[in-house]
Every structure is written in structure tokens, then in C-alpha cells.
Amino acid sequence: MTFTQHTIALLFLSALLVHFEIAEASDDAVAVVEGAALIKAAPRHRDTYANPGESLSHGSFGVRVPFMLRRLGTYFRDGRNAPEQQTPDTAQLRSYVKDGPPTVTWIGHSTLLVQMGGLTFLTDPIWSNIPSPLPPLGPRRFVPPAVAINELPTIDFVMISHNHYDHLDLPTLRALARRNPQTLFLVPLGNAALLQRHGIDNVRELDWGESVELAGLTVHCLPAQHWSKRSLTDTNKALWSSWAVIGERRRFYHAGDTGYFAGFKQIADYLGPFDLAAVPIGAYAPRQMMRASHMNPEEAVSAALDLDAKTAVAMHFGTFDLSDEPLNQPPRRFKQAAAAQGLGEQQAWVLKIGETRSF
């Protein structure tokens, strides 16, 4: 990719960012789905979704434009200080049986492979090198995915948090669906049509507060404070979410992509405590632009505490070139914050890409 191509890509992405529309808060949030008294359905204004509470700010023009110019400068940023890598024991992962110990494996970014309650699932799977509407133009990947798709164990289901390109990666989803037509794709409202247009038919769409039963596990679609966009005209027309997977012996939470918000406490009251909560800790700088939609490491620790999580595992850092902070800053601050805020450093996991841990 030439510098000119990269410039065009960045201009395109700047156009996306400049085009942000600010969704208004809604007070017509409707009630409760499936008895989840604490979790309200997502606020909606005609054909767009909103966050509960305040409008989501992406910072002023004066912050966004210099940010875009700095992005140009990071084209030559190398992957130094990216997360360490190790090769996962794929044979072990493929031989998982129902009574085996629940595990989490970090594939990279927000992609986790989780095995619990006899099922195997992926979160926000992205195997592509460039999350962008116009690859090869877009942010670069510093660390390759930990394992090839073909070496994965059989995937029972996939949870997708929202439609941004680094979380909803169509080439990956198509490959997973082709590999196993039984794989069920769980998405928040308004996202199923996109998958179906790309030949992925086994899709289930859920609103916040709704859940689905899957062979002994209950998967809950839950709030997150974020937004959505894949083109110039579809801002917030598809919903975003976090997810919880509740089994007999383990309770797992995936925060998706989110700012710090009051919803974590409500989710804990409804479904906590969690054995393991995956929390995003990167893409927080510049703060004025990112605060509403991306937590910093200190907020990620606060979220884990609000969620009543025994252990928090870090994600959404070190994999793609998305923001200003140095690559190794998020995990360092995450560990420090865990010690300072009382979660405990041992309970704040920073995995190597490819590392598997029991929880």
C-alpha cells in the first residue's frame, strides 16, 4: 500500500468521522423484555438507536481533525511494544468436552475464543488485516490472529457487539459460516440483514434484555454505550450491545465496545457476579474524542468492579492501529489501576495473543 493510498483511506475515514451525527437521548425507552426488569430495551428514534442518558459526543472538530492528521503520521509506526504472542494448543482446544475446564483464549483485539458449559464460541471475530470499508485502505494490524480459522475447534456460536469494521468483519464471518453452517451468529437488532446479504443465514437478532437458550447456556444481549456506522448514511441504524453467557458453573461477560456507563451496575444486579469479564482497555486517546465510546484502562477496572467480576480480561488494544496512545500503555495502566482500585493485579488478566487460561 502506498502512502497516497493510505492518505486516501485516511481522508475517507476522516469523512466518516466528520460525518458523525450525534444521536439524541431518548426518553421513550420501552419496557422490559423477558422479565429483565433492570434492563430496558434499547432507546430508539424512528430508525436510529440511541444510548440511555446523554448524547454521545465524539469531541469537537478541533480535536478530530488534528487526530486524523496524526493518524497519517502513524503510517510508519511499527508494531514494537505490541502484545506478546504464543501459539495456542489447538489440539487441546479441539478436544474440549463438556466437563472440561472453562477457558478463554485471546485471538487478538476483541476476539476471544471461549469454551464453557460444553460449547465453544467466539466474540467479535476478526481475522482480516485491515478493518475498513475499503481495504487495503485503513488501519493496520500489528499482530496476526493467534490461530488460523481452519484450526479452530467447531464453533457453536458467535457473538457480535456492533457493526464497526474492527468488530463485524464480513470476510471472517463468511469463512466461519462456510466452515460450519451450524454456527449461530448472534447480533444486536438491525444487524441481521447485513449478514444475510452476505450469505450468512443462521443469524439471530436480539434487543437489549433479550436472551437465547443454547444447550444449557443462556446468552443475554445487554446494553453498551457506543454507536454504529459502516457507511456515510447508516449512523446508529443498527444497535450495539454487550453480551453475557450464563452457564451452570460459569458466568462470562463481554463488554463489546463501550464507554464507561451506569449500565454495568444494572447488568451486575441482573446477572452478576461474573467469573470473567472481558473489558476493552484501548483506543482511548485523544480522550475528548474517545471518552464517550471507549473506556480507558482505569474505567475498564471500574467497569469490572461494577460488574462484580471476579476476574477481568483485557481486550481491544495492541492489535490494530486505531488511536494515539502508545501500544504498551493500556496493559500497563490496566494492571496499575487494578492494584490501585482494589480489583487486584492478579485478577486483571493481560493475556499474550494466543494464550489460553482457565477461569
SS3 188: strand
Q: Which is nearer to Zn ion, 166 or 210 (CB)?
A: 166
> Minimum distance from CB of 208 to Zn ion (Å)?
17
Residue nearest Zn ion (C-beta atom): 164
- Residue choice 164, 251, 316, 333 for contact with Zn ion (CB under 5 A): 164
Q: Whole-angstrom Cα distance, residue 129 to residue 340?
A: 36
> Minimum distance from CB of 79 to Zn ion (Å)?
22
Q: Which is nearer to Zn ion, 186 or 246 (CB)?
A: 186
For CA atoms 33, 37, 42, 45, the dihedral sign is positive
Q: Which is nearer to Zn ion, 207 or 257 (CB)?
A: 257
Q: Quick one: DSSP state of residue 158?
A: E
> Minimum distance from CB of 14 to Zn ion (Å)?
17
Residue for grid cell 502508545: 326
Instruction: Tell whether residue 140 is a contact of Zn ion (CB under 5 A).
Output: no
CB–CB of 123/254 below 8 Å? Answer: yes
With CB under 5 A, what is the number of residues at the site for Zn ion?
2
Instruction: Tell whether residue 109 is a contact of Zn ion (CB under 5 A).
Output: no
Q: Give the interface segment with Zn ion, choosing from 19-27, 105-113, 251-259, 298-306 (CB under 5 A).
A: 251-259
Q: Which of 106, 140, 152 is nearest to 9 (CA)?
A: 140
Q: Whole-angstrom Cα distance, residue 88 to residue 86?
A: 6
Tell me the sheet residues that pair with 356. 105
Q: Whole-angstrom Cα distance, residue 306 to residue 230?
A: 31
Q: Give the interface segment with Zn ion, choosing from 29-37, 61-69, 81-89, 160-168 (CB under 5 A).
A: 160-168
Q: Which is nearer to Zn ion, 120 or 258 (CB)?
A: 258
Q: Which is nearer to Zn ion, 107 or 217 (CB)?
A: 107
- Taking residue 178's Cβ as centre, other Cβ atoms within 10 Å add up to 12
Instruction: Tell whether residue 257 is a contact of Zn ion (CB under 5 A).
Output: yes
Q: Give the interface segment with Zn ion, choosing from 42-50, 124-132, 157-165, 247-255 (CB under 5 A).
A: 157-165
Q: What does the angle CA 135 – CA 137 – CA 139 come to, to the nearest 5 degrees? A: 100
Contacts to Zn ion by CB under 5 A:
164, 257
